[in-house]
């Protein structure tokens, strides 16, 4: 069986190489340069690497740019991908612009036919510039005076970034369904800077509708409880014995569970960022080596795998960890006065989840409770990953998987 599997891997690899070879040979037509001078017309994709890459002519293809001070004053009939210190746009981009830079400046006359996706410390769109579709950006400061045909979706300012990170962390730690929209800025009318605080943006985005707090809280609590209950029920149904092992770890090694849980939580958010940076670097490197087909295949395969693993991590962090601790708490409570109902595993799970949702809804205290529960749950999962299951764990009515 193992030999057949090895043969399959080798044969598949050979087929992939054979299929990619013509594309790679064709990819040798990619132009590698530091500038497209005025009057030049390039009918192929372009890769620009230099301290000061310049596009003054016309490019009929996609453009990849890595440099310090990037200037685009010509026409690009395709999309542009930029990693730079400073990006200046006064020409026409008949595609999307994907940019990560310290400063992004769309000057008067600069035109982007489709979307602008930008991550920057400072973003400026001057009056007379235009974006044909949507603007998506994350920036510390911004001055948006240009025209955006459709929607502007932005996170502007250090405080807004802090709020977004805080909301994400709180939602992941507590696991409650948000009772209000996240702190993003959508459909901005304009952004101005008060003279007293030039680093802060004042956002005018219309009136917010008022709603009753108590009905909203009830709806939030019920939706959160339903989410936890679904995941917890699946946990007990699909992994009955493994669930008992997780609970036993928390009972027998609470400090170790919390310690390992903190490591899992930190690395669970840090490693995906590092892997994404690695994938982007690998993508640019393979494109530079005239292997665009292989570059995009590796990038999207790696990105898909990364997203799948990160989704599993989020499920474990947001829902599964709470279900584990809630089931333990409900079982301990019912064992004091109603042991007979413990054979119905859904009852202690439901009791524990109701208690958790109520406690997690308390301001400030809920965040602390959510953190402790998350660390205990993640740590117990980690401690049992490579350990054989004990024949007897948490309760006498343990089922076999």
- pLDDT tens for each residue of 136-176: 988 888 888 888 888 888 888 777 777 776 677 667 778 87
Res 264 pLDDT > 90: yes
**Domain residue spans of the chain:** 34-210, 213-383
pLDDT bin (cut points 50, 70, 90) of residue 213 is low
Tell me, what's the pLDDT at 197?
39
Tell me, what's the pLDDT at 31?
84
- pLDDT tens for each residue of 71-80: 999 999 999 9
Percent of the chain with pLDDT over 70: 78
User: Which among 321, 302, 304 has a CA at the least distance from the CA of 380?
Assistant: 321
Please enumerate in sequence order all residues whose Cβ is within 8 A of that of 92, keeping only pairs 6 or more positions apart, or say none: 74, 75, 76, 110, 111, 113
pTM, to two decimals: 0.67
Supply the mean pLDDT for the chain.
Answer: 79
Tell me, what's the pLDDT at 387?
67
Tell me, what's the pLDDT at 185?
43
Tell me, what's the pLDDT at 182?
42
- pLDDT tens for each residue of 224-251: 888 889 989 999 899 888 888 999 899 9
pLDDT bin (cut points 50, 70, 90) of residue 296 is confident
User: Which among 135, 94, 128, 125 has a CA at the least distance from the CA of 109?
Assistant: 128
Encoded tokens for 298: 């590796």
Please enumerate in sequence order all residues whose Cβ is within 8 A of that of 7, keeping only pairs 6 or more positions apart, or say none: none
pLDDT bin (cut points 50, 70, 90) of residue 293 is confident
Taking residues 319-339, report their average pLDDT.
Answer: 90
User: Which among 70, 78, 69, 21 has a CA at the least distance from the CA of 45?
Assistant: 78
Tell me, what's the pLDDT at 202?
36
Strands (E), 6-115: 31-33, 35-36, 41-42, 46-50, 54-55, 58-59, 63-72, 75-76, 80-89, 92-93, 97-106, 111-112
Taking residues 45-72, report their average pLDDT.
Answer: 91
C-alpha 42/C-alpha 328 separation (Å) is: 66
Is pLDDT larger for residue 263 or for residue 214?
A: 263
Res 361 pLDDT > 70: yes
pLDDT bin (cut points 50, 70, 90) of residue 392 is very low
**What DSSP state is assigned to residue 127?**
B
- Of the ranges 28-32, 56-60, 315-319, which one carries the lowest mean pLDDT score? 28-32
Is pLDDT larger for residue 86 or for residue 192?
A: 86
Res 198 pLDDT > 50: no
pLDDT bin (cut points 50, 70, 90) of residue 89 is very high
C-alpha 80/C-alpha 88 separation (Å) is: 13
- Of the ranges 2-11, 104-113, 345-354, 381-390, which one carries the lowest mean pLDDT score? 2-11
Is pLDDT larger for residue 182 or for residue 329?
A: 329
Res 8 pLDDT > 50: no
Res 1 pLDDT > 70: no
Taking residues 264-272, report their average pLDDT.
Answer: 91
C-alpha 131/C-alpha 114 separation (Å) is: 6
Res 305 pLDDT > 50: yes
CB 383 within 8 A of CB 264: no
């Amino acid at each position: 069986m193992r030999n057949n599997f090895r043969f399959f891997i080798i044969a598949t690899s050979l087929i992939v190489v054979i299929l990619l070879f013509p594309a790679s040979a064709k990819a040798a037509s990619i132009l590698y340069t530091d500038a497209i001078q005025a009057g030049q017309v390039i009918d192929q994709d372009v890769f620009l690497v230099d301290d000061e890459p310049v596009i003054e002519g016309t490019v009929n293809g996609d453009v990849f740019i890595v440099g310090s001070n990037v200037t685009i004053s010509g026409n690009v009939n395709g999309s542009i991908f930029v990693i730079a210190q400073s990006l200046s746009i006064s020409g026409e981009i008949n595609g999307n612009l994907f940019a990560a830079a310290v400063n992004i400046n769309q000057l008067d006359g600069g035109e982007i036919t489709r979307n602008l996706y930008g991550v920057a410390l400072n973003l400026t769109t001057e009056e007379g510039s235009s974006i044909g579709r949507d603007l998506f950006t994350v920036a510390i400061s911004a001055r948006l005076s240009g025209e955006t045909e459709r929607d502007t979706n932005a996170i502007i300012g250090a405080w807004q970034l802090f709020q977004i990170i805080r909301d994400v962390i709180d939602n992941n730690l507590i696991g409650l369904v948000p009772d209000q929209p996240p702190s993003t800025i959508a459909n901005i009318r304009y952004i101005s800077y008060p003279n007293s605080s030039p680093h802060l943006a004042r956002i005018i985005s219309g009136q917010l509708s008022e709603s009753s707090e108590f009905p909203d809280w009830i709806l939030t609590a019920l939706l959160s409880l339903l989410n936890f209950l679904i995941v917890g029920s699946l946990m007990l149904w699909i992994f009955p014995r493994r669930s008992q092992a997780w609970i036993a770890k928390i009972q027998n090694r609470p400090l170790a569970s919390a310690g390992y849980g903190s490591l899992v939580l930190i690395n669970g958010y840090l490693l995906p960022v590092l892997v994404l940076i690695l994938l982007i670097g690998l993508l640019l490197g393979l494109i530079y080596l005239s292997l665009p087909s292989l570059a995009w295949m590796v990038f999207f395969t790696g990105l898909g795998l990364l997203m799948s693993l990160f989704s599993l991590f989020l499920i474990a962090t947001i829902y599964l960890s709470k279900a584990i601790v809630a089931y333990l708490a409900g079982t301990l409570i019912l064992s004091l006065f109603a042991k007979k109902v413990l054979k119905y595993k859904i009852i202690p799970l439901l009791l524990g989840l109701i208690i958790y949702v109520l406690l997690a809804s308390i301001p400030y205290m809920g965040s602390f409770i959510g953190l402790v529960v998350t660390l205990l749950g993640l740590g117990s999962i980690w401690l049992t990953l490579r350990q054989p299951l004990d024949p007897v764990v948490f309760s006498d009515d343990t089922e076999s998987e």
